[in-house]
Amino acid sequence: MVMPRETIRLGASKTCPECGVTPELGVYRSAAGWYIGTYCRCGPYSRESGYYATEEQAERALEADFFERHN
C-alpha cells in the first residue's frame, strides 16, 4: 500500500525538490525485487508499482502502463 504523496501519481512532486531533476519512469531493482519507479541525481525518488519477481515482468508492466496512458 502506498500513502498519498509517496508516488508521483498520488501527489508527490514531479520534480525532485533537492536536485531539480524531473525523473522518468524506469525499471529498477531493490532487495525486495524489481519495480517501476523513478531515480534522480539524489538516488531513488519514487516507487510507482509493487514488486515483480523478474525484470521482464516489470518491463512488460511498464510498457502496458505506458500504452494505457497514451491511448
pLDDT tens-place values along the chain, 71 residues long? 556 567 888 888 999 999 999 999 999 999 999 999 999 999 999 999 999 999 999 999 999 975 566 44
Domain range list for the chain: 8-69
| Residue 71: per-residue pLDDT | 47
In whole angstroms, give the CA distance from residue 71 to residue 34.
26
Q: How far apart are CA 35 and CA 25, in angstroms?
A: 10
**Cβ-count burial 7-33 (b if 16+ within 10 Å, e if not):** bbeeebeeebeeeeeebebebeeeeee
Predicted confidence at residue 65, as pLDDT, reads 75
Place of cell 523478474: 54
Alpha helix positions (H), the chain: 55-69
pTM for this entry: 0.80
